[in-house]
Amino acid sequence: MHALLTGSTDGIGRAAAFHISRTGAVKTLVLHGRSADKVSSLAKELREGGPCNVELKIVLGDYSSLESVVELAEEVASVCPELNCVINNAGVLVDYHSLTKDGHEMTLGVNHVAPVVLTLKLLPLLERNKPSRLINVASMAHLYVGMSMAYKDEATGKTIRDGSPLTSIDFSKVNPKVSADFNPYFQYSLSKLGNVFFTTELERRMRLPENCERFKGVVVNCLHPGVIDTKLFNVLSHRLGSSFTPSAVDSGIITIMHLLTSEEGGLVSGRYFNEEGRIAAANAIAENREEMQKFWQVTVTMWAEAFVDGRYKSLNAL
Ligand SMILES: NC(=O)c1ccc[n+]([C@@H]2O[C@H](COP(=O)([O-])OP(=O)(O)OC[C@H]3O[C@@H](n4cnc5c(N)ncnc54)[C@H](OP(=O)(O)O)[C@@H]3O)[C@@H](O)[C@H]2O)c1
């Protein structure tokens, strides 16, 4: 297999890079980073610090700019035309209001919109080189979307607060332009719902009668890696407050490796896996076609805003 690993320079991605290269779990490993220094020194460590049983390549891209994400996809296609696996792992939890270069709230832009754009740009490659695997690192946080903010359910007129199951999302609030409307938990859990939603939506579109032959052998799944001691978790625990006790970073790669190397990982598609590598129930809202159509529309609008020159249109191939 020839795999791209995004966000390889820290935390779970870095641990996965070490494991994959030491065990030779793939033939080519394309390491993605946003910092040239960081990703080069990772590649050096992998090559010189122990047995390196993969061919390593390096690509750069900053997810806070969709222009950079498109260039990243083009670079991946050029350095690894055999690509047949993408591990979408890069992510952030930003605890202050900030915007990407395209004017999107940072956490949602980096965690949801950027990987959607990257994946859709790489999909023709995955189709050509099938069998192919697409692995999206989501989070159990997606189960809690909406729980950290009061929310009015239009159907019942009731205000839903912490702990209540969410039946719909007010999509006018998902991309706050000013800090008064910003809630870091909501943005993070929504972005992770985005990962689950994109998994189920892509699966649905790939299996439509007009697409199913093309995408036979292309699978897409998402996962929760566990609560893992990384800099992203530190934002949650130290600055935002969390009662979770994190596990060591190496345990965060169990399900990634399962989906990358197991027979099941090549057969099952459209599912959410827990940190033990087992299929688990995702947020029911991810199965709500009406709500998810709205989410898709918001996502499309966000990338459309970024590509005023019309380049986004090629992303809508499915
Ligand atoms: N840790 C947990 O408990 C936990 C739980 C559930 C899900 N997850 C998910 O696991 C994934 C990995 O997170 P982690 O905990 O390993 O976090 P991390 O240690 O902070 O690593 C995140 C990776 O994403 C990269 N990244 C961040 N912003 C980026 C940007 N604008 N453009 C390109 N790359 C960017 C980082 O690059 P730099 O090295 O340059 O910073 C780093 O390589 C995320 O998708 C996260 O949502 C984590």
Which pLDDT belongs to residue 162?
A: 46
Instruction: State if residue 46 touches ligand 1 by the CB under 6 angstroms criterion.
Output: no
Q: Which residue range is the domain that position 69 belongs to?
A: 2-317
105-108 own/partner pairs: CB under 8 Å, 24+ apart: 105/174, 105/175, 105/176, 105/177, 105/182, 105/187, 106/64, 107/184, 107/187, 107/188, 107/191, 108/174, 108/175, 108/187, 108/190, 108/191, 108/194
* Residue recorded with tokens 């991605």: 13
Q: What is the CATH number of the domain that holds 87?
A: 3.40.50.720
Positions in the chain whose pLDDT score sits under 70: 146-167, 239-242, 307-318
For ligand 1, say whether the CB of 12 is within 6 Å of any of its atoms. yes
- Do residues 231 and 240 make contact, with C-beta atoms less than 8 angstroms apart? no
Q: Is 188 in the pocket of ligand 1 (CB under 6 A)?
A: no
What is the tally of structural domains in the chain?
1
For ligand 1, the distance from its centroid to the CA atom of residue 37, given in whole angstroms, is 17
Q: Determine the pLDDT at residue 144.
A: 80
3-class DSSP state for residue 31? strand
Q: Which of 230, 243, 254, 255 to mutate to test the pocket of ligand 1 (most atoms within 8 A of CB)?
A: 230
Q: What residues pair up with 5 in beta bridges, in sequence order?
A: 31, 87
* Closest-lying ligand 1 atom to the alpha carbon of residue 9: 43
Mind listing the pLDDT tens digit for each residue in 60-98? Answer: 999 999 999 999 999 999 999 999 999 999 999 998 999
pLDDT of residue 180: 82
Q: Is the CB of 232 under 6 A from ligand 1?
A: yes
Quick one: pLDDT at residue 145? 77
Q: Are 138 and 149 in contact (CB under 8 A)?
A: no
Whether a cis peptide bond, with omega within 30° of 0, leads into 131 is yes
Greatest extent of the chain over all pairs of C-alpha atoms, in Å: 61
CA 299/CA 301 separation, integer angstroms: 5
**Is any atom of ligand 1 closer than 6 Å to the C-beta of 146?**
no
Task: Kindly report the protein residue whose alpha carbon is nearest to atom 20 of ligand 1.
Answer: 232
Q: How far is the CA of 298 from the centre of ligand 1 (A)?
A: 23
pLDDT in tens, 25-57: 999 999 999 999 999 999 999 999 999 999 999
Give the Cα-Cα-Cα angle 280, 253, 224 (nearest 5 degrees). Answer: 30
Give the per-residue pLDDT at 318: 65
Quick one: pLDDT at residue 239?
Answer: 61
Rounded to the nearest whole angstrom, what is the distance from the C-alpha of residue 267 to the centroid of ligand 1?
Answer: 27
In this prediction, residue 155 carries a pLDDT of 57
pTM for this predicted structure: 0.93
- Specify the DSSP element, H or E, that contains 136: strand 132-137
